[in-house]
Chain A
Amino acid sequence: MADTTSKSYFWKGFRDGTPFIFVAIPFGTLFGVFATEAGLNIVQTMAFTSTVFAGAAQFAALQLLQDQTPTAIILVSALAVNLRMAMYSASLTPYLGAAPLWQRACAAYVTVDQSYACSIVQFEKEPQMTVPQRMAYFVGSVTPITPLWILATYLGAVLGTRIPESWALDFALPITFLAMIGPMMRTLPHVVAALVAIVVSLLTVGIPYNLGLLIAGCAGMMAGAQAELFVERRKAAV
C-alpha cells in the first residue's frame, strides 16, 4: 500500500468516510450510556464496543439483556442483526478477494455499514482500480470513524448515569434505526421485506426469548427474495 496512487486512494476514502462521524459520535455515546444503564462497567463496555464493533448488534444484545433473555438467545439474535455483515463480506469478495490474507483479515474487522456503503459505490464507479487501491480506499473510509466511535462510547459510559430521563434516550435507538431504514428502501422487494418483517414481528411479540425477532427476520428475507423473483419474472414477461 506504499505507492502513491494507493496513498491517494486512502485519503479519498478518508474524505468520503468523514461525514459518518456525525453518526458515529452520537451513536457511540448512546451505546456507552445504554451499556452503563444495563449494568456493564467501563472495562466490559469498552471491550464490547472495540471487539464487536457493530452498533446495531451491540444495542440489540443490550436490549435483550435487560429483558432477562437467556444468553444463547441473545447471541443468536444479535448475530442475526449482524448477518448483513456476511452479505457485505460476500459483496466485497469480488473486489478484495485477491488481496493477501492478512489484509483481508484486517478488512473483515472494519467491515461496517459505513465502510461498505462508501466502498461499494466507489468500486462500481471506477472498475479499473487495482486491488491495493481498493484496499487502501476501504481502510481509508473507516479510519475517521473508528477512533471517534471508541472515544464516544467511553464518554457515554463515563457520563451515562448523569443523563436525565426526560431526554427520552430510550427512543434514540428506534429513531436512529428508522432513519437508517428509510434510505434502504431502494426497490419494491426491499419495501415488501420490511413490511412483512414488521407485521410478523408485531404478531409474534408474545413469543418468549424474543424468538419473534428471528421468525420475523426470516419471514421478511423470504418475502424480499420472493418479491425479487416476482419482479424479475414480470420484467422478463414484458
Chain B
Amino acid sequence: MTPVDPVTIWAIVIGLAIGSYALRFVFIGLVGDRPMPPWLLRHLRYTAVAILPALIAPLVVWPTATEGQPDIPRMAAASVALTIGLITKNVLAAIFSGAGTLYGLLYLLG
C-alpha cells in the first residue's frame, strides 16, 4: 500500500463529484422540455456499451495480477460472465457464474 499525495486524491474526488453532478444535471436541470438534436442522442445511446468494454478488454487480456501475462482462469471467467449475461440478461447470475469459474479454475490449476 503506497500512500498517495492527498492533494491529488482530493483534486480527483472534488473534480469527479462536480463533473459527475454536472453530467447528471445538464439535461434534466437545464434543457427542460426542449428537444435535443437526434445525432447527439444517437451517439450518447452507445456510450455505456463502448466505454465499459474498452475499459475491461485490456484487463482481461493482460491482467494486472499476473503482471500482464495472459491467464487461463481469468480469460475463462470473463467469457463465462459475458456469455451468461448475454443469455440470461441477469447481472447477478453472470457475476456469480464468472466468479465461480475463476475460483474453480484457480483452485484446479493451482
Contact = CB atoms under 8 A, between A and B. Distances in A.
B20 A57 contact: yes
B53 A197 contact: yes
Contacts of A51: 13-14, 16-17
Nearest to B14: A51
Given A170-B63, A171-B77, A172-B99, A161 B46 contact: no
B92 A22 contact: yes
Interface string B88-110: 11111011001100110010000
A228 B49 CA distance: 14
A75 B53 CA distance: 19
A97 B33 contact: yes
A contact patch SS: helix
A217 to B, nearest CB: 4
A86 B53 contact: no
A200 B54 contact: yes
Interface stretch (A2-10, A99-107, A122-130, A141-149): A99-107
A16 to B, nearest CB: 15
Contacts of B69: none
A165 B63 CA distance: 14
Nearest to B61: A202
Contacts of B9: 39-40, 44, 65
A200 B54 CA distance: 8
Given A23-B91, A39-B2, A168 B11 contact: no
A184 B21 contact: no
A153 B22 CA distance: 23
Interface in A139-184: 161, 165-166, 168, 170-184
A83 interface: yes
A3 to B, nearest CB: 23
Nearest to B33: A97
Contacts, number: 294
27 contacts: A38-B4, A39-B1, A44-B10, A52-B17, A52-B20, A58-B16, A61-B12, A82-B20, A83-B47, A89-B27, A93-B33, A96-B28, A105-B25, A108-B25, A108-B28, A161-B1, A174-B56, A174-B81, A178-B78, A180-B85, A183-B86, A183-B90, A197-B50, A201-B55, A220-B49, A220-B50, A220-B53
Interface string A13-49: 0000000001100100000000011111000100110
Nearest to A160: B1
A181 B25 contact: no
Given A51-B14, A83-B44, A193-B46, 19 more contacts: A22-B92, A26-B95, A36-B1, A44-B9, A60-B55, A90-B44, A93-B27, A93-B33, A97-B32, A105-B25, A111-B28, A175-B95, A178-B94, A182-B84, A182-B87, A183-B89, A193-B50, A221-B44, A222-B43
Contact residues on A (Cβ < 8 Å of other chain), bracket: 35 or more
A107 B45 contact: no
Given A224-B45, A229-B42, A81 B51 contact: yes
A189 interface: yes
B86 to A, nearest CB: 4
A37 B1 contact: yes
A85 B22 CA distance: 9
Nearest to B87: A182
